[in-house]
Amino acid sequence: MSQRSARRISALIAVAGLALTACGGDASSVDDSTVDISVVPTDPADESTEPDVVLPTEIPTELVITDITDGEGDGAVEGDTVFVHYVGVLSADGSRFDGNFDGEPFAVTLGQGAVIKGWDDGLVGMKVGGRRQLDIPSELAYGEAGSGDAIPPNSAISFVVDMLAIVPAIDPDDEPTITVEGADAVTQLGIEDLQVGAGDEAVAGSTVVLQLIGYRGDTGEKLISTWGDPSPVTLTLVSDGTLPGILEGVQGMKVGGRRLLTIPFKDAFGDAGNSELGLPEKTDLVLVVDLFAAF
């Protein structure tokens, strides 16, 4: 079995495809020791209008956190991957330098130093559906270097951040043990719910956060797994955003759910198969999908 990063697998399955018809299916056996998924349901804020950032009365010399809306559920902790909308301005005069309320959510894993210290510290404790203002001193932002023309050296910066989803850190040991029996090629998508979720439902157009295990449909050989990668797979359920079998098969899942999809080769990688995944030509793809967030 080959292990590939979640980001690489996302690129491989994010391709345009054909329409398909969904039906029931049964192609697996599940080890009784399968571990339940720990999830936080999502409740995205209204993203139609970018919020105003209220400038601090004094330039901050330490991180100031102001919760505008509290949100629900457990707060984010170090190691969680969070998905946010945000807008950022200079604390001194309100000059806007960045924001994504009109675009795709931004994902960051907390505590890895992937963002400025003011974010790594300031997003801890936020809850899904929450809105928070961060007033960040220069020392916890871009310091003496600044950032391009937009953020001068030694600038304090202020953000309003909306928390869309929180995905807890994944333990590779929690990967489910599932045996897939090899079978003849199918002509329609097979869907089997191995575990029914209780959170938000994935619908057409949703952004979803997944863990995937892939198998050859003809032999049941395990080909790929994203459970060993710290970054989850993120896809948008649109016709030009992923394989048609995934587009159709994930819709209707709820956060916390686990679903087995038997995808006809025409709705996976077609006649050519996919050598990167080790999937031969004209071979069905079987996926075990765990849904961690939908928004």
Active site residues: 86, 97-98, 116, 142, 159
Q: Using CA atoms of 222, 227, 231, 233 in order, give the dihedral in degrees to the nearest 10.
A: 50
Listing DSSP states for 216-272 in one string gives ETTT--EEEESTTSSSPEEEE-STTTS-HHHHHHHTT-BTT-EEEEEE-GGGTTGGG
In whole angstroms, what is the distance from residue 258 CA to residue 256 CA? 7
Find, among 84, 87, 85, 91, the residue nearest to 62 by Cα.
91
Helices (H), 160-233: none
Pairing verdict, β 64-69 and 233-236: unpaired
Task: State the Cα–Cα distance between residues 249 and 247, nearest whole angstrom.
Answer: 6
